[in-house]
């Protein structure tokens, strides 16, 4: 594995690393440009196959494929594996955008379109560029990062206002209430920004909500 702190490693005289960055962008675009209408699914890599969240993620991914969507994940274990498995078992495009990490992240076996990235920001561009919706399963800091990055890009009109769906009202309700009681009440966001987020529990309703906005 290369040095862990890749961004810090770009110093004077090492601008050649920019060509590696460009190369990752080119490979991503070349690989995914024909993937079709897709949803990106995020969530914890620590979820085990016997967890109800794993099973629900499989079901959601399978339903999306049956409704002519491709499924994109971070390519690792847990929720990512479940989504790739559900998509692959349903006969659809199951995309895994793996990130090279010194721990935790290993590619799962269920993605039938695979890419590997050294740089998080390039991987994030691919998640956004080819997604027509973000499906956010329960997760940790990485999941929150993807969630709030997508909300920020929509809020600032850098990307189209695609659906951002939080799956699991029991898990996400505290966060949504905090956003309302802290961010909104202190005028850190506008009331309409709350509309970016939807909380939906049922897999069929999730697909229905996405199809309502995204015309297949």
**What count of residues does the chain have?**
216
Q: What does the pLDDT read at residue 1?
A: 47
Q: What does the pLDDT read at residue 4?
A: 55
User: What's the average model confidence in pLDDT over 36-56?
Assistant: 97
Give the C-alpha distances (Å, rounded to integers) separating 115 from 38, 74, 108, 148, 184. Answer: 16, 9, 12, 23, 39
Q: Is residue 18 part of a domain?
A: no
Q: How many structural domains does the chain have? A: 1
**Whole-model pTM?**
0.90
Provide the pLDDT confidence category of residue 18 given band limits of 50, 70 and 90: confident
Residues 64-119: tens digit of each pLDDT: 999 999 999 999 999 999 999 999 999 999 999 998 877 656 889 999 999 999 99
Contacts with 31 (C-beta within 8 Å, 6 or more apart), sequence order: 113, 115
178: buried, middle or exposed (CB in 10 Å: 19+, 13-18, 0-12)?
exposed
122: buried, middle or exposed (CB in 10 Å: 19+, 13-18, 0-12)?
buried
Contacts with 124 (C-beta within 8 Å, 6 or more apart), sequence order: 146, 149
Evaluate if residue 184 carries a pLDDT over 50: yes
User: What's the average model confidence in pLDDT over 24-51?
Assistant: 96
What is the residue range of 190's domain? 37-213
Provide the pLDDT confidence category of residue 8 given band limits of 50, 70 and 90: low
Paired with 153 in beta bridges are: none
Q: Is residue 98 part of a domain?
A: yes
Q: Is residue 26 part of a domain?
A: no
Q: Is residue 113 part of a domain?
A: yes
Say how far apart CA 189 and CA 181 lie, in whole Å.
11
| CATH code of the domain in which 140 resides | 3.40.50.450
Provide the pLDDT confidence category of residue 12 given band limits of 50, 70 and 90: low
User: What's the average model confidence in pLDDT over 157-183?
Assistant: 96
């Amino acid at each position: 594995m290369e040095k862990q702190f890749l961004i810090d490693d770009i110093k004077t005289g090492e601008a050649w690393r920019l060509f590696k960055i460009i190369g990752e962008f080119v490979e991503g675009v070349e690989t995914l440009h024909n993937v079709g209408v897709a949803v990106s699914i995020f969530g914890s890599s620590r979820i085990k196959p016997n967890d109800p969240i794993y099973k629900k993620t499989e079901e959601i991914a399978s339903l999306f494929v049956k409704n002519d969507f491709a499924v994109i994940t971070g390519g690792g274990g847990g929720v990512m594996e479940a989504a790739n498995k559900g998509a692959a078992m349903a006969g659809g495009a199951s995309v895994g955008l793996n990130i090279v990490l010194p721990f935790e992240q290993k590619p799962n076996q269920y993605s039938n379109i695979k890419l590997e990235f050294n740089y998080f920001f390039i991987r994030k561009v691919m998640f956004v560029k080819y997604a027509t919706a973000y499906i956010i399963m329960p997760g940790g800091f990485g999941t929150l990062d993807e969630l709030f990055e997508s909300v920020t890009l929509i809020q600032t009109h850098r990307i189209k206002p695609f659906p951002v769906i939080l799956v699991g009202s029991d898990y996400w309700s505290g966060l949504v209430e905090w956003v309302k009681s802290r961010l909104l009440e202190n005028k850190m966001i506008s009331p309409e920004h709350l509309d970016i987020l939807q909380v939906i529990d049922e897999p069929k309703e999730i697909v229905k909500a996405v199809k309502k906005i995204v015309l297949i």
